[in-house]
């Protein structure tokens, strides 16, 4: 029975997509659920829009200000100047987040939570804010990330800190993390036990995310130098994987575990879905590093300039793999050219070197392996349902970078 709802493994899908050599049977199998999948995406997009509108309305509201101030059930401060207060709080805490949300984005984390909720027969508008909080919280982390990296653009638009100032962007970005608090209170008002479990899950993974960000800010240049000296890149690849399991994987783990909790999944189901989410987050980061080499275009708009990380001498997965695949002298020359502040021609030459040595292919293979192994472990614990296949298909689309919402 389970085989009836087992989607094509990510490695086979990725290989077929990359090589353009899918068989007719595989192509048919991939396209058969497309209409149903498109309908699911459309429904979730509608729910997501409703949830974002509730959490981050376009205009100030008195009830929103009460929540932003954490004054539910308490005396409301400054009752005589509420209109002015509401306008100021909205401008400082909501408008910067809306700036990023309105710029678009793939929003696959929110859609992933919706697929997990579907898996357990729950979801829809009752969970709109919980689904939306995935996107609002992620937007907040991007805003802070852009300040830390001095990034001028995000999603093809000016980064929030270039519009609202660094201090406002940092404060609004961190405040966005608490959108989950508001969503949890609204979604489970009568279930204190469930609320506690969701809070604990969210906060634990938020801690992990900040640990990963700390490692990412420190960078991995020391480990890369050691790999060049010893010709052993394993320590470099391990710390790089740990960094992004925490920074990116923990976010996705939280999405899957919270969805499982909301769906009243078993402890085993929650655990395997959490592991699956973490692996998906790491696989996504690996392909994101590949995307950085080539530049990213979303809906015909350039959202990331090609090789931005290389220009900043940031150690990425393709660069780390190239240390193993290139002769030591060539790898050292490549790294020295990046450390020296490369010009455009040097960057283009570095990209070609990394591509030609097989580092990109190694990254794609690793991303597909991570997803396949995590799904193989999770699948036996999940229901025999088309929703199970839909979850796997959504995850594979993330790794293939074909998500289009």
Query: pLDDT tens, 359-383?
Result: 999 999 999 999 999 999 999 999 9
pLDDT of 257 > 80? The answer is: yes
Q: Is residue 24 part of a domain?
A: no
pLDDT of 14 > 70? The answer is: no
- Contact by Cβ (8 Å): 236, 223: yes
What DSSP letter does each residue of 156-221 carry, written as one string? TEE-HHHHH-HHHHHHHHHHHTTHHHHHHHHH-TT-HHHHHHHHHHHHHHHHHHHHHHHHHHH-SH
Compute the average pLDDT of residues 347-353. Answer: 95
pLDDT at position 330 is: 96
pLDDT tier, 73 (very low <50, low <70, confident <90, very high otherwise): confident
Query: pLDDT tens, 262-298?
Result: 999 999 999 999 999 999 999 999 999 999 998 766 6
Number of H helices and E strands in the chain, helices first, is: 22, 4
Give the integer Cα–Cα distance in Å for 319 and 353. Answer: 10
Which of 1-5, 54-58, 71-75, 229-233 is least confident? 1-5
Q: Is residue 206 part of a domain?
A: yes
pLDDT at position 123 is: 86
pLDDT at position 77 is: 63
Compute the average pLDDT of residues 17-21. Answer: 37
Domain count within the chain:
1
pLDDT tier, 299 (very low <50, low <70, confident <90, very high otherwise): low
For residue 83, count other CB atoms closer than 10 A to its CB: 11
Q: Is residue 25 part of a domain?
A: no
Percent of the chain with pLDDT over 70: 86
pLDDT at position 8 is: 40
More confident residue, 79 or 97: 97
What are the φ and ψ backbone dihedral angles of 69, each rounded to 5 degrees? -85, -5
Compute the average pLDDT of residues 377-398. Answer: 96
Percent of the chain with pLDDT over 90: 76
Range of the domain at 8: 2-18+34-68+85-400
Q: Is residue 23 part of a domain?
A: no
- Contact by Cβ (8 Å): 346, 269: no
For residue 399, count other CB atoms closer than 10 A to its CB: 24
Q: Is residue 182 part of a domain?
A: yes
Query: pLDDT tens, 96-153?
Result: 999 999 998 889 999 999 999 999 999 889 999 999 999 999 999 999 999 998 888 8
Q: Is residue 78 part of a domain?
A: no
Compute the average pLDDT of residues 164-172. Answer: 98
- Contact by Cβ (8 Å): 82, 124: no
What are the φ and ψ backbone dihedral angles of 296, each rounded to 5 degrees? -120, 130
Q: Is residue 177 part of a domain?
A: yes
Compute the average pLDDT of residues 378-400. Answer: 95
Q: Dihedral, CA atoms, 94, 136, 242, 324, nearest 10 degrees?
A: -90
**Those residues with Cβ within 8 angstroms of residue 91's Cβ, 6 or more apart along the chain or in another chain:** none
CATH of the domain at 271: 1.10.600.10
Compute the average pLDDT of residues 148-177. Answer: 94
Q: Are strands 296-298 and 157-158 parallel, antiparallel or unpaired?
A: unpaired
Query: pLDDT tens, 26-64?
Result: 444 444 445 566 788 889 999 999 999 999 999 999 999
Q: Is residue 29 part of a domain?
A: no
pTM for the whole structure: 0.89
Three state DSSP letters for 80-111: HHHHHHHHHHHHHHHHHHHHHHCCCCCCHHHH
Query: pLDDT tens, 307-334?
Result: 889 999 999 999 999 999 999 999 999 9
Q: Are strands 157-158 and 301-304 parallel, antiparallel or unpaired?
A: unpaired
């Amino acid at each position: 029975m389970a085989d009836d709802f087992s989607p094509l493994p990510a490695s086979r899908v990725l290989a077929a997509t990359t090589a353009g050599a899918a068989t007719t049977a595989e192509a048919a199998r991939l396209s058969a659920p497309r209409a149903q999948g498109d309908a699911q995406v459309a429904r979730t997009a509608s729910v997501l829009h409703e949830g974002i509108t509730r959490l981050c309305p376009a205009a100030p509201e008195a009830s929103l200000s009460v929540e932003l101030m954490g004054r539910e059930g308490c005396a409301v401060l400054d009752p005589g100047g509420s209109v002015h207060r509401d306008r100021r709080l909205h401008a400082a805490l909501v408008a910067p987040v809306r700036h990023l949300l309105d710029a678009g984005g793939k929003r696959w984390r929110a859609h992933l939570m919706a697929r997990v909720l579907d898996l357990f027969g729950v979801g829809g508008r009752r969970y709109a804010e919980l689904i939306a909080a995935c996107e609002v919280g992620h937007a907040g982390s991007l805003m802070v990330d852009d300040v830390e990296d001095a990034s001028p653009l995000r999603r093809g638009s000016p980064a929030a800190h270039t519009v609202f100032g660094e201090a406002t962007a940092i404060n609004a970005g961190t405040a966005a993390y608490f959108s989950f608090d508001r969503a949890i209170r609204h979604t489970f008002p009568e279930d204190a036990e469930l609320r506690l479990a969701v809070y604990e899950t969210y906060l634990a993974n938020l801690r992990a995310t900040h640990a990963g960000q700390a490692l990412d800010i420190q960078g991995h240049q020391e480990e890369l130098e050691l790999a060049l000296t010893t010709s052993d890149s394993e320590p470099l690849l391990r710390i790089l994987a740990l960094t992004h399991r925490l920074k990116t994987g923990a976010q996705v783990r939280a999405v899957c575990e919270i969805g499982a909790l909301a769906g009243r999944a078993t402890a085993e189901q929650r655990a395997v879905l959490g592991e699956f989410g973490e692996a998906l987050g790491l696989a996504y980061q690996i392909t994101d590093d590949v995307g950085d080499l080539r530049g990213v275009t979303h809906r015909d708009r350039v959202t990331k300039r090609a090789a931005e990380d290389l220009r900043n001498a940031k150690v990425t997965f393709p660069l780390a793999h190239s240390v193993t695949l290139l002769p030591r002298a060539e790898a050292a020359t490549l790294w020295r050219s990046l450390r020296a502040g490369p010009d455009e021609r040097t960057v283009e030459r570095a990209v070609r070197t990394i591509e030609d040595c097989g580092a990109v292919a190694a990254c794609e293979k690793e991303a597909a392996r991570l997803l396949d192994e995590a799904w193989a472990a999770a699948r036996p614990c999940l229901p025999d349902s088309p929703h199970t296949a839909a979850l796997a298909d959504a995850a594979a689309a993330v790794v293939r970078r074909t998500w289009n919402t």
